Amino acid sequence: MNPKDIPGTESCSSSVFVHNPHLEEMNDDILYHFGFGTRTHNLPAMFGDVKFVCVGGSPWRMKSFTEYIAAELRLEDPKAEYPNICAGTDRYAMYKVGPVLSVSHGMGIPSIAIMLHELIKLLHHACCTNVTIFRIGTSGGIGLEPGTVVVTKQSLDATFLPKFEQVILGKTVVRNTDLDPSLAEELLHCSKELDQFETMAGNTMCTLDFYEGQARLDGAFCSYSVKDKQEYLNRASEAGVCNIEMESSVFAAMCKLSGLRAAVVCVTLLDRLKGDQLNVSPEVLHSYQHRPQILVGHYIKKQLKKKALCS
Amino acid sequence: MNPKDIPGTESCSSSVFVHNPHLEEMNDDILYHFGFGTRTHNLPAMFGDVKFVCVGGSPWRMKSFTEYIAAELRLEDPKAEYPNICAGTDRYAMYKVGPVLSVSHGMGIPSIAIMLHELIKLLHHACCTNVTIFRIGTSGGIGLEPGTVVVTKQSLDATFLPKFEQVILGKTVVRNTDLDPSLAEELLHCSKELDQFETMAGNTMCTLDFYEGQARLDGAFCSYSVKDKQEYLNRASEAGVCNIEMESSVFAAMCKLSGLRAAVVCVTLLDRLKGDQLNVSPEVLHSYQHRPQILVGHYIKKQLKKKALCS
C-alpha cells in the first residue's frame, strides 16, 4: 500500500527534508539497499514514531545497541529477540525498539552515503518529525588514552579542512560538515553525569582509506617513513584533530542538508602516535566499543524522561 | 605460530607483492578486519594453495559463489556447509573451497580498499604464487539490455579519466587503473563457449556515490534536471563507459601494484538511460547476479583442467 493511500497520512508534514523535486513524481520509491518500497511497505506505520536514529559500521554492534537500549529504556523484554528489519538484503542491518532505530552502515564514505540517502527518504516517507541522529563508532586517537570517547566538533578532510567534497555530474561540490554544537554540549554533560570514562570534544579527521590514507605503516603498500607519518599526525594534532575515522564528513554534510540534529560519538581504540595495529584483546575492545552506546543511551533516556514529564 | 617459524616457509618467495619495508620489522601482523594474525594463524597452511580469489560486495553472494564453484569443480560435496573463515568479525565474510577463495568487500572504494590491503598481505604471508583475482559484481548499464555482463577494459573516474586518486599524507597520488587485457580476452572467449548470456568488453565508470555521484534522480538530494542527467550519461557513453559501479578503480590500482592478474566482471541490473530505480523481481535479480559467477566459474574450471593435463 502506498502511504499516500493511508488515511491520515496524506498531509503529513515531515521535518526530515529531502531536496529532490523528482521524488514527488514517482509513484513508488524503492529503497533498494534496505529492501523497502513505498508501495510494498507501510513506512509511516513501521517508522512514524522514530525520534532517535543510531548508526554504526558493524551490524553486530547495532544489534547489541538495540538490546542495550531496550533494557535501558525498559521498553521491551530485554531478553526478546530483535529481528533485522532489512532481512531481505545483506547490505545493511536495521533494528528498532520503541522510538529508537539502529542501522549499520558498513565502512567508508560511499557505504554510509548510500545508507543515509535511503534513511533520509525513509524518515521523510514515514513522516517522522524531530529526529536526532548519532553515529556511534570506533576510531584511531591522536595523543589520547585508548578508550577515550570523542564527540566531534568539526569533521575535517585529510588536509585538515572542514569540508566534504561531493562529485555531482563529474563536478566537485563542496559541502559543509558542521554538526550541532548544542547536541555535542549535551552529550559532554551526559558524560559528566555518567562519570564512567573520559569523553572530550574535538575535531575528527575523515579519510577515504584506512592504511595509506591514515598514514599507517602496516598496509600492503607504504612509501613513507616513520618520520613522515609522525609529522603528518602532528600536523593533524595541531589542527585540533583528536581522532580519525572514515564516515563523519558525509554524515555531517547529509544530516545538515536534511535538517537532522546530528552528533558523531566515536571511541578511540588506539593512540596512533604510538602505533598502527589494533591489538587490544577482544574483551577490552568490546568494553571500549560499548562506551559510545552508554553515552548515547544515557542521552536518549534523559530526553524521553523529560518528554514524559512534560506531557 | 609465526609462519616464519614453520619449517619450509622461511624462504618462501611469494609472487604477491607487498611494497612496504616496515612489514619486515613487525613480529606480528594483525589483519584486523579479517580477524587473523600471523602469530595466531598459520596463514601458509590455511591459504598457501590459493590460486583464484573472487571478491564481491555482498556476503551472501560470495557464499553462494563458493557453493556453486564447489559443485562445478566437483571438489567437495556440494551439499556441505562452508563456514565463514572470518567468523570472528562481521566486517567481511570469507569462504574457501580448494584453490578458490571467495571474499566479500562491502560497498564503495574505502571498504574494498581495506579488504584488499589485508588480502594482499594475507596472500603474501601465505606465500601464494600465480594468483588470479576477479571482482564479480553488479552495476548500472549504459545503453545495454539488463542482464548483460561487462568485462572491464579500463576503469574510469567520474570525469571519464582512467585513474585512481589515492590521498597519502594529505597529498593526492594518481594511480593507474589498467587491468590485464589477456585475462579479459580469455573471459570473453569463455562467454562465447558458454553461450548463455550477452558478455562484452567495455569501460567501467567507478564513482564514490550511488545517487548524486551516478546522476540518479531518486536520491534524498538532487539539484539537476532530467536533461542534465541524460547529457552526463551520454558523455560517459561517448567515453566508452558501458557500466557504472563503485569499486573497480581501486581494485585495478591495488591489484596492479601487487602483481595480481585481475579482472572486473559485472552484470548490469538496469539501463541507466531508461531509469534509476532497481525494480526487477528478486528471481530475475538473482539470475542476473549469478552470471558473473557462471563466467568466472567456467574460466577457473578450464584453467584447472589445463593444469591437470600438464602435470
Tens-place pLDDT, residues A202-213: 999 999 999 999
Q: What is the ipTM of this complex?
A: 0.94
Q: Choose the mutation target among A112, A169, A175, A223 for the interface with B, i.e. most B CBs under 10 Å.
A: A169
Share above pLDDT 70 across residues of chain B, in percent, rounded to a whole number: 95
Grade residue A311 by pLDDT with cuts at 50, 70 and 90: confident
Chain B contact for A277 (CB, 8 A cutoff): yes
> What pLDDT shows up at residue B61?
96
Among A72-81, A111-120, A175-184, name the one with the lowest average pLDDT. A72-81
Cβ–Cβ under 8 Å, residues B100 and B300 = yes
Residues of A in contact with B59 (CB under 8 A): 90
Residue B17 contacts by C-beta under 8 Å, 6 or more apart in sequence?
Answer: B124, B257, B258, B259
pLDDT above 60 for B11: no
- Note whether B109 contacts A258, CB cutoff 8 Å: no
For chain A, where are the alpha helices, taking DSSP H only?
43-47, 59-73, 109-125, 181-194, 226-238, 248-257, 282-310
Please check whether residue A11 lies inside any domain of the structure. no
Residue given cell 593526492 in the structure block? B172
Say what the alpha-carbon torsion angle A43, A48, A52, A54 is, to the nearest 10 degrees.
Answer: -10
> What pLDDT shows up at residue B309?
84
Residue B228 contacts by C-beta under 8 Å, 6 or more apart in sequence?
Answer: A169, B215
Chain A contact for B159 (CB, 8 A cutoff): yes
| Same domain assignment for residues B126 and B156 | no
pLDDT above 50 for A248: yes
- Note whether B114 contacts A59, CB cutoff 8 Å: no
> What pLDDT shows up at residue B8?
36
Chain B contact for A108 (CB, 8 A cutoff): yes
Chain A contact for B116 (CB, 8 A cutoff): yes
Please check whether residue A12 lies inside any domain of the structure. no
> What pLDDT shows up at residue B114?
98
| Same domain assignment for residues A145 and A102 | no
Cβ–Cβ under 8 Å, residues A144 and A122 = no
Chain A contact for B223 (CB, 8 A cutoff): yes
What is the domain-level CATH number for residue A57?
3.40.50.1580
For residue range B296-310, what is the model confidence (pLDDT) as tens digits?
A: 999 999 999 998 888
Rounded to the nearest 5 degrees, what angle is found at the Cα of B170, between the Cα atoms of B166 and B175?
20
Q: How many domains does chain A have?
A: 2
pLDDT above 60 for A250: yes
| Same domain assignment for residues B50 and B150 | no
> What pLDDT shows up at residue A6?
41
Please check whether residue A15 lies inside any domain of the structure. no
| Same domain assignment for residues B159 and B271 | yes
Q: What is the mean pLDDT of residues A56-73?
A: 95
Residues of B in contact with A212 (CB under 8 A): 166-168
pLDDT above 90 for A144: yes
> What pLDDT shows up at residue A243?
98
For residue range B146-198, what is the model confidence (pLDDT) as tens digits?
A: 999 999 999 999 999 999 999 999 999 999 999 999 999 999 999 999 999 99
| B273/chain A closest Cα distance in angstroms | 14
> What pLDDT shows up at residue A7?
39
DSSP SS3 for B252: helix
> What pLDDT shows up at residue B78?
55
Q: Of B140, B157, B154, B109, nearest to B244 (Cα)?
A: B140
Residue A19 φ/ψ, nearest 5 degrees: -125, 75
Cell of A73: 529504556
pLDDT above 70 for A30: yes
> What pLDDT shows up at residue B270?
97
Looking at per-residue pLDDT, the higher value among A9 and A13 belongs to A13
| Same domain assignment for residues A282 and A302 | yes
Residue of B nearest to A124 (CA): B220
pLDDT above 80 for B258: yes
Q: Choose the mutation target among A221, A228, A256, A278 for the interface with B, i.e. most B CBs under 10 Å.
A: A221
- Out of A118, A209, A228, closest to residue B113 by CB: A209
| Touching B: A residues 257-276, CB under 8 Å | 257-258
Residue B199 contacts by C-beta under 8 Å, 6 or more apart in sequence?
Answer: B148, B149, B150, B151, B187, B188, B191, B295
What is the rounded distance in angstroms from the CA atom of residue B54 to the CA atom of residue B289? 14
Residue of A nearest to B37 (CA): A279
pTM tops 0.80: yes
Residue of A nearest to B17 (CA): A220
Q: What is the mean pLDDT of residues A97-114?
A: 98
Please check whether residue B11 lies inside any domain of the structure. no
What is the rounded distance in angstroms from the CA atom of residue B11 to the CA atom of residue B246? 38
Mean pLDDT of chain B: 94
> What pLDDT shows up at residue A309?
84
Q: Of A67, A76, A121, nearest to A98 (Cα)?
A: A76
pLDDT above 90 for B105: yes
Partner residues linked to B141 by β-bridges: B243, B271
Question: Which residue range is the domain that position A86 belongs to?
Answer: 1-6+20-130
Please check whether residue B168 lies inside any domain of the structure. yes
Q: What is the mean pLDDT of residues A289-300?
A: 98
> What pLDDT shows up at residue B13?
64
Q: Of B68, B120, B69, B116, nearest to B92 (Cα)?
A: B116
Residues of A in contact with B223 (CB under 8 A): 19, 168
B79, B107, B130 - which closes a domain: B130
B130, B150, B171 - which closes a domain: B130
| Same domain assignment for residues B242 and B108 | no
Q: What is the mean pLDDT of residues A143-171?
A: 98
| Same domain assignment for residues A114 and A182 | no
For residue range B198-218, what is the model confidence (pLDDT) as tens digits?
A: 999 999 999 999 999 999 999
B130, B150, B170 - which closes a domain: B130
| Same domain assignment for residues A63 and A210 | no
Q: Choose the mutation target among A16, A168, A244 for the interface with B, i.e. most B CBs under 10 Å.
A: A168
- Note whether B58 contacts A158, CB cutoff 8 Å: no
Grade residue B75 by pLDDT with cuts at 50, 70 and 90: confident
| Same domain assignment for residues A122 and A166 | no
| Same domain assignment for residues A118 and A143 | no
pLDDT above 90 for B251: yes
> What pLDDT shows up at residue A2?
43
Given its phi and psi angles, is residue B169 left (phi above 0), alpha (psi -120 to 50 degrees) or beta? left
For residue range B149-162, what is the model confidence (pLDDT) as tens digits?
A: 999 999 999 999 99
Residue A137 φ/ψ, nearest 5 degrees: -140, -170
| Same domain assignment for residues B82 and B194 | no
Helix axes B59-73, B282-310, angle to 10 degrees: 40
- Note whether A221 contacts B21, CB cutoff 8 Å: no
| Touching B: A residues 15-34, CB under 8 Å | 18-23, 26, 28-30, 32-33
Cell of A171: 563536478
Grade residue B49 by pLDDT with cuts at 50, 70 and 90: very high
Grade residue A5 by pLDDT with cuts at 50, 70 and 90: very low
| Same domain assignment for residues A306 and A182 | yes
